[in-house]
Structure 1
Amino acid sequence: MTTTEGNPVRVGVFGLLGSGNLGNDGSFEALLGYLGAEHPKAVVDALCGGPEVVERRYRIPATRLHWYRGEYRTASRAGAMAGKGLGKLVDAVRTAAWVRRHEVVIVPGMGVLEATLPLRPWGFPYSLFLLCASGRLFGTRVALVGVGADAIRDRPTRVLVRWSARLAAYRSYRDALSRDAMRRMGVDTARDEVHPDLAFALPAPRTSAPPGPVPSPPGPVCVGVMAFHGGNDDRARAEEIHRRYLDGTTRFVRALVEDGRPVRLLTGDEVDRPVAAAILDAVDSPLVTAAEADSLADLMTEAAAADAVVATRYHNLICALKAGTPTLALSYAAKSDALMARMGLGAYCHPAREVDADRLLRQFRALERSSAQLRQTLAEQNRVATRQLAHQFAALTAAVFPAAPAAGHAHAHAYREAP
């Protein structure tokens, strides 16, 4: 893809990429696949959380998102507080200069418009606002593609998120709940699109799983764990919520082991690893092992080799569903329930805040009894997701790439969610 003057389009990718969250990186990989297929001449670079990882893994230039390297550490000393404050000013200049060098900037997936996990307004919400405001100032088309959103109660965070969305040239969401949340926060979503999460565009793993009932003896179970402490409004109860989650999940894993089931623990972020270690230590059985996954592709391969998956983190669920493996969600937010319903498994959700190991085990056994039917359902829904994401990428090209017929017009095509 080139501009009307014949020069390659300069495309920037923005987000907490290369920072240890496999879901964020998976959305990035899906976007790079689209750019490579549809806009192979585009010049791509990133403004991201982990530039060293992005440059090494994806072979594109990358710039650090924050000037102050201690941005996500708690500032308790005067020097650290001063560094953070100065960093906000420096980042405004750095972000504007970076945006100005591009015709298009894309924020791929991720829950950038939500606060379902603990979040401070002057962290990522401020960075996103700087990006979108700079795009509007310099005429760079900023696209929020397949992002997650949720109604936000904290007023400073809500204001920053609302204005970020308003200033973007293009918006689409990974579920209808996200679009509805932005509408409730005062954003005109009449022409905004809803499509499956970008991670569904990643290649599916090859699987040798039988289409029929679960074999005897039954095979391994993947259990995806998370450093779950509640949401942005649960800070006062964070440790209590985490203890209950960890205790219930540990008891469930122990029950599987007592049934002779091999259990494979999955994580989706570096912060989840202590949770997996705590379960390994508490259960203390050779039947329980932890996967060393470095990408969503690795997680999909793990899920494809399992008879069933029970998982908390959103993109662990996506990997299992994409792999076509019967899945039960330890749901920590409405987005998990919406994803499961969309894929035809809405009955198999369990609250992460109130993990009841006995009830979870009953749900799990019901899941396995319906394994053959659920595998067929997932195969059908994955085919639908593939078609919908092709539609998403076509809409993105039409809306924001300079050589497209609709160049320069925000939300040029108003596609609706396919049935």
Structure 2
Amino acid sequence: MKVGVFGLLGAGNMGNDGSLEVVLAYLRDHHPDVEVSALCSGPEVVEERYGIPSTPLYWYFTRHRDPVLPVRVAVKAVCKFRDSARVLRWVRRHDVVIVPGAGVLENTLPLRAWGFPLSLFLLSFFGRLTGTKVAFVNVGSNVIRQRTMRFFVRWATRLAHYRSFRDTLTRDALAEMGVDTSRDEVYPDLVFAMASPDVTVESGTVAVGLMDFHGSNDDRARADSIHRTYVDGMRRFVRFLVDSGRRVRLLIGDEVDEVVVRQVLGEHPAGAVTYEPIRTLGDVMARIATADVVVGTRYHNVLCALKQAKPTISVSYSTKNDRIMADMGLGEYTQDARTVDVDRLIEQFTAVAAAAKEITPALAERSAHRTALLTRQFEVLSASLGLPATTKKEVVS
């Protein structure tokens, strides 16, 4: 049986790749006889890191781009046709295609309708055309207002064989956009299926997750202003931590975030603020494991902290951040990344650090419950997709 994985994978976003890692572990543990391959935006990385054959999703980004605008536009148009044909050929070679978690159906960050949303629509459309089962597993979305993007997302999910969502926000958003979600289930984000590193906590250490943040699709007109406000606010907060005698360990959630890391690092004495290169969600988990408290912006920075029962503050760029914080009992420890209030952030940090002994056990209980729910998710997924059961020989371990 041939199973494909599809998405913006291997392109630098740790959340996307972490979701892929969890799905691959599930397939290898429970269905080791299936053949797995990928159609993704970073095929070289996926092949090297995860050992599965991979095909580039976008031909345009694999070639030299002509500097002359008319030529560039013409080449891009041709590439769209080539990419569509490639998706069709790839889909029909598989029995099942899985879109693994992450916010693949949302536009909380700048996104063009004719990019990945179109690709998702083609995936589901060709799946129906060829009889390949397409599964959206624990994915996230928001209510999309832009007409073309809304059309692609709505029909991508309508045409899918299987859907599950990582929160009720997603289910409600898709229902508002015209998708019948009455039979779709909500399960925790796939991050809760990852193993927590066994490392020693370094007392007095705060993990601060930074993001190259410019607002959402709706904020394009003031993107530069939002970015300056965010970076300035996080700089001032890190300075407060250093002046208070805390060690600061910086985090990212996408390789593009290193631009902001470099800006913050250059302002402090050597050793007071550190950054070790991060390339996987496992790296994020390992850095967070050593900290007392976590302050994060990227959704998967926040998730990794909650998974490991760390007292957490979310400098949120999306409602999904606020929802997971509320669901985990930390709703009072959030604020908007567009208008970082440093004084309030310091108050939140002081409060969450003081309440750590009460917060940690409650988070651990909620995290364990979510991990157990994902076991049920994988059982349902296997049955829905008709994946072959593990043989008796392979069960022994």
TM-score range, shorter chain: over 0.9
Q: Does residue 261 of structure 2 align to residue 282 of structure 1?
A: no
On the 8 A contact 1:230/1:238 being kept in 2, the answer is yes
Kindly state the Cα deviation for residue 79 of structure 1 after the two structures are TM-superposed: 1.7
Give the alignment partner of residue 99 of structure 2, picking from 104, 107, 118. 107
Residue 315 of structure 1 is matched in structure 2 by: 300
Q: Judging changes above 3 Å, is the alpha-carbon distance between structure 1 residues 75 and 365 closer, same or farther for their aligned structure 2 residues? A: farther
Shift of 1:343: 1.7
**Aligned mates of 2:21, 2:63 — CA distance in 1:** 25
CA shift for structure 1 position 208: 3.6
**Residue 35 of structure 1 aligns with which residue?**
27
Give the Å deviation of 1:285.
5.0
Q: Mind listing any 5+ residue stretches in structure 1 that lack a counterpart?
A: 1-8, 210-214, 405-419
Q: Is 1:270 aligned with 2:262?
A: no
SS of residue in 2 equivalent to 1:282 = coil
- The reply on whether 1:171 has 2:163 as its aligned counterpart is yes
Deviation at 1:298, TM superposition (A): 1.3
Could you tell me which of 196, 200, 203 is aligned with 1:204? 196
One-letter code of the match for 1:151?
V
User: Whole-Å Cα distance in 2 between the matches of residues 335 and 71 of structure 1?
Assistant: 36
Determine what percentage of the aligned residue pairs are the same residue. Answer: 54
2:395 maps to none
Q: Secondary structure at the match of 1:196?
A: coil
Q: Are 2:40 and 1:48 aligned? A: yes
1:291 aligns with 276
Aligned partners of 2:31 and 2:387 also within 8 Å: no
Of residues 191, 194, 207, the one that matches 1:222 is: 207
Q: Distance in 2 between matches of 1:43 and 1:63?
A: 15
Alignment check: 8 A CA contact 1:103 1:402 kept: no
- Normalising by structure 1, we get a TM-score of 0.90
Which residue of the partner structure matches residue 20 of structure 1?
12
Pair 1:186 & 2:178 matched = yes
Contact 1:75-1:81 within 8 A present in 2 as well: no
Per the alignment, residue 155 of structure 1 pairs with 147
Q: Which moved more, 1:315-324 or 1:76-85?
A: 76-85
Counterpart-to-counterpart distance in 2, 1:401 and 1:53: 29
Deviations 1:111-165 (A, max 9, x none): 1111000000011001111111000100100000000100011111111110101
| Alpha-carbon separation, structure 2, partners of 1:13 and 1:320 | 26
- After TM superposition, give the deviation of residue 83 of structure 1 in Å: 1.5
Report the TM-score when normalising by structure 2: 0.95
Farther-moved stretch of structure 1 (336-345 vs 166-175): 336-345
CA distance in 2, matches of 1:74, 1:128: 27
Contact 1:311 1:330 in 2 (8 A): yes
Asked if the contact 2:124/2:156 (under 8 Å) is kept, the reply is yes
Which whole-Å deviations, capped at 9, do the CAs of 1:383-412 have from their partners, x for residues lacking one?
1011110111111111112558xxxxxxxx
Question: Where do residues 337-348 of structure 1 align in structure 2 (5 Å cutoff)?
Answer: 337-348=322-333
What one-letter code is carried by the residue in structure 2 that aligns with 1:120?
R
Matches within 5 A, 1:79-118: 79-118=71-110
CA distance in 2, matches of 1:79, 1:166: 36
Using the TM superposition, give the Cα deviation of residue 330 of structure 1 relative to its aligned residue in structure 2, in angstroms: 0.5
Question: Which of 64-73 and 149-158 deviates more?
Answer: 64-73
Match of residue 123, structure 1, among 98, 106, 115: 115
Shift of residue 72, structure 1, vs aligned partner: 12
Counterpart check, 1:367 vs 2:352: yes
**Separation (CA, whole Å) in 2 of partners of 1:280 and 1:104:** 45
Match of 1:377 in 2: 362
Q: Is the 8 A contact 2:255 2:279 kept in 1?
A: no
Supply the AA of the counterpart residue of 2:338. Answer: R
- Secondary structure of the equivalent of 2:207? strand
Q: Distance in 2 between matches of 1:284 and 1:245?
A: 22
SS at match of 1:69: helix
Q: Deviations over 1:50-87 (max 9, x none)?
A: 11111111111000001211699998711211121111
Cα distance change on mapping 1:343 and 1:256 into 2, 3 Å: same
CA distance in 2: counterparts of 1:401 and 1:342, whole angstroms: 33
Using a 3 Å threshold, how does the CA distance of structure 1 residues 244 and 72 change in structure 2: closer, same or farther? farther
Which residue of 2 is the match for residue 395 of structure 1? 380
Deviation at 1:377, TM superposition (A): 1.1
Q: Report the CA distance between 1:293 and its aligned residue.
A: 1.6
- Aligned-residue RMSD, C-alpha: 1.7
- Structure 1 residues 367 and 75, CA, compared in 2 at 3 Å: closer, same or farther? farther
User: How far 1:232 sits from its partner (Å)?
Assistant: 0.8
SS of the residue corresponding to residue 18 of structure 2 reads helix
Corresponding residue number in structure 1 for 2:230:
245
